[in-house]
Structure 1
């Protein structure tokens, strides 16, 4: 058993999440990292590597590749090859590289969405075709009718987020097949951010990499993965792209050029340990997060002015606060001591995103303060 209830005082280090409201009586529940210690196997591997005392240029050994390949096969039933893998410093940088590597004048994605899905195409001077997700059977789903109306011949890249950030949808096989058909029909390369793939909160839910559905889709896909969200090692900056198509992989690597340098020694050390020995920790984490989500859902159900659709993955709850009729739901909750993510950069200022990847006692205090805010209306 792992102790996810253990409080870690993150204010003692320059922590982005907790420094944002330094000196204020505000509990941060915004940026997507968790407050839990990483798995013991990761911490031990890092300590052993640090003990060597030399941190020069490094290579990635075959055991690391084997661990990655086995993890992807074990969790997603997808067989990837060593030569398909390119290491990057993070999924955000990978999205920017993809937008530059694929020849396209415009990029299609969905909204609301993690803000870098909008920023990355703009950084590459590409038009953004942002298609609103729709509510269906209490889930956020793709609107294929709207996508068909918006697509144009200049668009050759679709940027997918699965599991979906901020809404927590895990797209079904049928939904992914329909998206795959759409992309093949319009000759779109798919850049799929699957960084939350391991954080499934329903035991019956399965994550399916869209590239695993067919050889045709594999040849049109850039799949972005990382252990960073799963094992809470985002600061170590170790992520990777899986690109089966040799020409697409060549273009991605050429675009990386000298902008993305050597790999992070400690990041690769943590990645290897997590993928080799982290499954038991991950299984318990999922149970803990699912219980935290239930607390959030119970809170929302008691407050009819808030709304939360069904959620299948991630530690981030996308809460509709439009019925509060306040100028800024984000500012409203900050005034009552809770720092959520503002929904505006995601595409809707009337929403807030709550990070429940924290200790139960901390989440209880967050929800207590939010309830006090609701009672003030």
Structure 2
């Protein structure tokens, strides 16, 4: 039974329409609730804004470098949260995680080599391969005991495939990989001599309280030496617009290749991003604990509501604030357009590789989520009634 616990940190609705928000400006002149791109509607921890204010008050914003304290915080965080002991020289700072995916594709493969990725998957996985003009192979993501997992089938690999893109936790789908599943992935990578680029940006957003994030590279030395791990505080603390991400690369040869491709093309991280990231990792855990409790309430509400609506189904979400909703039973060609007309702006499943799904971002105020679900339910009930009338006329 869903029970609502008010939260003064996350309940307030903050007007983002005039704040240069990609998420909200998309529907600036329409009565459409934006539930699509993966940023939240939550104010960041006050410690982050205080740190930024202090930096602004200094009044000089020249070139900067990664603070030693930030590097130490990342090392401590990996050891404490994930039992992964990393070295400071393994960390390469980036102005965003997506550029890290693209750098992996371009630096760790040659033009005649291929890249394999699960599908459906976060769109930059596929676009990075296309932009680099590498050969794309896909591993179908299917339901396995109510969890979305890629099928590790070597027959799906194109010849000369060199790199595997992994998303842990999985986006879309929200799967948190178990150790055995990661070990199977490692065995697959070893069998086919693949380097693994593991996008772990959602690793702090675990909704199952008994779930544990395991970095792919932490499995053993074989995994570490064939891996690039991408992390960022951006989704966790809603600071994506500042752009501070990290690649953790234990293998010195892979790291040199990665840095060489980055030089002169990818800019350094800006000083405000460093400031925000350091404050987030140093002081943000209490805020994050509150956010997770809030998101768990929203997940429970979604599971109850979506699975009672006509045509839709939603399987358990172990991590992320992104619901991957099966709309394959809807008697419409484009579920995304259908809900957009009903006043709810979702991410189209086609962007991820399956047009029969939609993705809903539930990192928003409770009031906004309730209204979005109300609009969806009313539109689907009307569709079901119209469909029933049409079927009866045809009899």
Pairwise CA distance, 1:46:
0.7
- RMSD, matched Cα: 1.1
CA distance in 2, matches of 1:110, 1:327: 24
User: Secondary structure at the residue paired with 1:299?
Assistant: helix
1:203 to 195, 201, 209: 209
Contact 2:303 2:316 in 1 (8 A): no
Partner of 1:164: 170
Partner of 1:341: 347
CA offsets 1:193-248 (integer angstroms, 9 cap, x no match): 00000000011000000000001110000000000000000000100100000000
Q: How many residues are paired up?
A: 375
Pairwise CA distance, 1:272:
0.3
Partner of 1:142: 150
1:236 to 242, 245, 253: 242
Partner of 1:190: 196
**Equivalences for 1:281-360 in 2 at 5 Å?**
281-360=287-366
- After TM superposition, the runs of 4+ consecutive aligned structure 1 residues lying more than 2 A away are none
Structure 2 residues without counterparts, runs of 5 or longer: 1-6, 384-395
CA offsets 1:142-199 (integer angstroms, 9 cap, x no match): 212xx22112440010000010101101111000000001101111000000000000
User: Secondary structure at the residue paired with 1:323?
Assistant: coil
Contact 2:66 2:93 in 1 (8 A): no
Contact 1:71 1:276 in 2 (8 A): no
CA distance in 2, matches of 1:28, 1:55: 34
CA distance in 2, matches of 1:137, 1:305: 21
CA offsets 1:30-55 (integer angstroms, 9 cap, x no match): 00000000111111111111110100
Contact 1:2 1:284 in 2 (8 A): no
Partner of 1:82: 88
2:274 to 268, 274, 282: 268
1:225 to 231, 235, 240: 231
Partner of 1:99: 105
User: Secondary structure at the residue paired with 1:376?
Assistant: helix
CA distance in 1, matches of 2:67, 2:298: 38
CA distance in 1, matches of 2:19, 2:290: 27
TM-score, normalisation: structure 1: 0.98
1:130 aligns with 2:138: yes
1:42 aligns with 2:48: yes
CA offsets 1:14-37 (integer angstroms, 9 cap, x no match): 110000011101000000000000
Partner of 2:3: none
User: Secondary structure at the residue paired with 1:160?
Assistant: strand
Partner of 1:259: 265
TM-score, normalisation: structure 2: 0.93
Structure 1 residues without counterparts, runs of 5 or longer: none
User: Secondary structure at the residue paired with 2:84?
Assistant: coil
Pairwise CA distance, 1:334:
0.6
2:222 to 194, 204, 216: 216
